């Protein structure tokens, strides 16, 4: 396996990995009628708006993992509203009732990027998402992807980075602690971790 910069041809594979790891690290395919929706929230905007901070883990069978993110969450949210959301609003309207399933919850997330403006963005302005398929997990590749991404942030002079993780995803929580993140906030559904760079 090797790590390389993202290329536009990787987009479909990244969307697929996003879905196949999207249920607390497990396959979320069964939760979505539309297999692209989760990627439209957690992958597409980063690939469009921050392609220089997207890295792919691949082997001879193709991409097996990725790390993506932004160096500046506030600017990212503004760009998401301006350059990402308008292309999707017609195809993905908000339901006119409170969400009743994962697909509808994800539609809410798609339409509300300001949810990313948490109290920690001032001290930890960058944020990231990392996902590896099962065939790539547990062999040090997650740590290697993280090192690549953090070095790219340091080169840009970014002072800190944060991330969110579901309360049920204990494996990812252990991984983040092991690679140097500390807990910033927790509620019943999720935790936020941070690292000064
Ligand atoms: C979470 C994830 C990114 C970790 O990547 P990985 O390649 O499996 O982890 P690594 O093998 O690089 O492990 C790095 C370190 O974390 C530790 N670690 C990883 N999983 C752990 C666990 N469940 N418990 C304790 N430590 C763990 C490893 O022991 C290793 O420590 P070391 O380097 O000192 O030996 C990866 O498993 C994954 O993508 N899972 C599915 C998707 C997901 O949950 N993404 C996160 C969504 S918030």
pTM, entire model: 0.98
Question: How high is the pLDDT of residue 66?
Answer: 99
Q: To test the ligand 1 pocket, which listed residue (178, 183, 192) has its Cβ within 8 A of the most ligand atoms?
A: 178
**Residue 143 CB less than 6 A away from ligand 1:** yes
Question: How high is the pLDDT of residue 76?
Answer: 98
Count: domains in the chain: 1
If you take atom 42 of ligand 1, which residue's CA is the nearest one? 25
How many helices (H) does the chain have, and how many strands (E)? Answer: 7, 7
Question: How high is the pLDDT of residue 161?
Answer: 98
**Residue 70 CB less than 6 A away from ligand 1:** no
Q: 155: CA distance to ligand 1 center in Å?
A: 24
Q: Which atom of ligand 1 is nearest to the CA of 24?
A: 44
Q: 193: CA distance to ligand 1 center in Å?
A: 15
Question: How high is the pLDDT of residue 8?
Answer: 97
Q: Cα separation of 60 and 53, whole Å?
A: 23
Please report, in tens digits, the pLDDT of each residue of the chain (197 residues total).
Answer: 999 999 999 999 999 999 999 999 999 999 999 999 999 999 999 999 999 999 999 999 999 999 999 999 999 999 999 999 999 999 999 999 999 999 999 999 999 999 999 999 999 999 999 999 999 999 999 999 999 999 999 999 999 999 999 999 999 999 999 999 999 999 999 999 999 99
The residue among 149, 187, 133 whose CA lies nearest residue 14 is 133
Do the bridges between strand 160-166 and strand 126-132 make them parallel or antiparallel, or are there none, so unpaired?
A: parallel
Give buried/exposed letters for 59-81 (b at 16+ CB in 10 A, else e). Answer: eeeebbbbbbbbbbbeebbebbe
Question: How high is the pLDDT of residue 176?
Answer: 98
**For the CA atoms of the chain, what is the radius of gyration?**
16
Give buried/exposed letters for 125-142 (b at 16+ CB in 10 A, else e). Answer: bbbbbbbbbeebbeeebb
Q: 96: CA distance to ligand 1 center in Å?
A: 39
Q: 20: CA distance to ligand 1 center in Å?
A: 16
Q: 93: CA distance to ligand 1 center in Å?
A: 36
**Residue 107 CB less than 6 A away from ligand 1:** no
Q: Which domain holds residue 49?
A: 2-196
Sorted by sequence, the CB contacts under 8 Å of residue 63 that are 6+ apart come out as: 10, 13, 14, 17, 56, 57
10 Å CB burial of residue 46 (0-12, 13-18, 19+) is: buried
CATH number of residue 36's parent domain: 3.40.630.30
Residue given tokens 């990313």 in the structure block: 116
**Residue 140 CB less than 6 A away from ligand 1:** yes
If you take atom 17 of ligand 1, which residue's CA is the nearest one? 175
């Amino acid at each position: 396996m090797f790590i390389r910069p993202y290329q536009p041809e990787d987009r479909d594979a990244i969307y697929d990995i996003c879905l196949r790891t999207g249920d607390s690290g497990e396959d979320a395919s069964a939760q979505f009628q539309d297999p692209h929706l989760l990627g439209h929230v957690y992958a597409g905007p980063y690939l469009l708006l921050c392609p220089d901070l997207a890295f792919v883990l691949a082997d001879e069978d193709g991409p097996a993992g990725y790390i993506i993110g932004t160096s500046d969450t506030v600017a990212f949210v503004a760009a998401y509203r301006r350059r990402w959301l308008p292309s999707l609003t017609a195809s993905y309207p908000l339901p006119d009732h409170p969400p009743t399933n994962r697909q509808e919850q994800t539609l809410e997330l798609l339409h509300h990027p300001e949810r990313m403006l948490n109290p920690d963005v001032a001290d930890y302005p960058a944020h990231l998402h990392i996902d590896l398929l099962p065939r790539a997990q547990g062999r040090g590749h997650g740590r290697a992807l993280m090192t690549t991404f953090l070095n790219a942030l340091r080169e840009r002079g970014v002072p800190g980075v944060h991330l969110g993780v579901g309360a049920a995803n204990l494996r990812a929580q252990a991984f983040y602690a092991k690679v140097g993140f500390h807990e910033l906030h927790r509620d019943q559904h999720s935790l936020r971790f941070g690292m000064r760079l």
